[in-house]
Amino acid sequence: MSASLPSTIIFDLDDCLWSPEMYTLRSIPSKPVKGPLGAHGEGVIGMKCSSGETVKLFPAALKILQRIASNEFENVTFGVASSSEEPSYSRACLQGLEILPGVKMDSLFPIQAIGRTGGLTSRKTTHFSSLKKQHPSMVFTDTLFFDDCNWGDHVGDLNNALGVKGVRTPNGLTEEEFETGLSMFNK
């Protein structure tokens, strides 16, 4: 099999890339928490709420996002699709968390659909319509999607409705799940 990649890779946020889920937070994550970014030096590894909770990436998600930030997948467009009930909290985390020192998580994702208002609902087909408007050359059947699916089968729904290939990440994205997803595009 030759290595071949999808043209677009989309990630869910809550319980896929980071934890805990935004709806469980009692206030906006506003305070950067510094710490080690794996083997890549120090950076913002958490965003803390005044109510005490701290949002952090899953360890494997950080490693995968570091590969993306290091341009291992330079011809792939990356995005996020989240039906967060607190999109302003999600954006605060995207704009605060660092992947490499000085490299904000937000900068990795040129296309983003977050929330369940303004055309977005709890069904992620609405998020994919928004992503396609932001990136018209997006081809759903050449798109890979990761989602924990603990609240509903977004992966199955998007596959049935739009032909998107996806992988469920019930305990947060792992490196094995990421490789499984990539292998679905080997020709």
Report whether 148 contacts 170 (CB < 8 A): yes
Residue (98 or 148) nearer to Mg ion, CB? 148
Tokens of 167: 């992988």
Q: Residue 166 CB, nearest distance to Mg ion (Å)?
A: 12
Site residues (CB under 5 A) for Mg ion, limited to 31-90: none
Question: CA 27 to CA 16: how far, in whole Å?
Answer: 21
Residue (14 or 98) nearer to Mg ion, CB? 14
Report how many helices (DSSP H) and strands (DSSP E) the chain contains, helices first: 5, 11
Residue (103 or 164) nearer to Mg ion, CB? 164
Q: Which region among 95-103, 116-124, 133-141, 148-156 touches Mg ion (by CB under 5 A)? A: 148-156
Site residues (CB under 5 A) for Mg ion, limited to 15-34: 15
Tokens of 3: 């290595």
Residue (121 or 186) nearer to Mg ion, CB? 121
Q: Residue 24 CB, nearest distance to Mg ion (Å)?
A: 12
Q: Is 177 in the site for Mg ion (CB under 5 A)?
A: no
Report whether 76 contacts 11 (CB < 8 A): no
- Choosing from 6, 8, 11, 14, the residue that interacts with Mg ion (CB under 5 A) is 14
Q: Is 12 in the site for Mg ion (CB under 5 A)?
A: yes
- Choosing from 148, 155, 164, 169, the residue that interacts with Mg ion (CB under 5 A) is 148
Q: Quote the DSSP letter at residue 22.
A: G
Report whether 100 contacts 66 (CB < 8 A): yes
Q: Give how many residues touch Mg ion by CB under 5 A.
A: 4
CB burial readout 74-92, b (16+ within 10 A) else e: eeebbbbbbbbbbbebbbb
Residues that bind Mg ion (CB under 5 A): 12, 14-15, 148
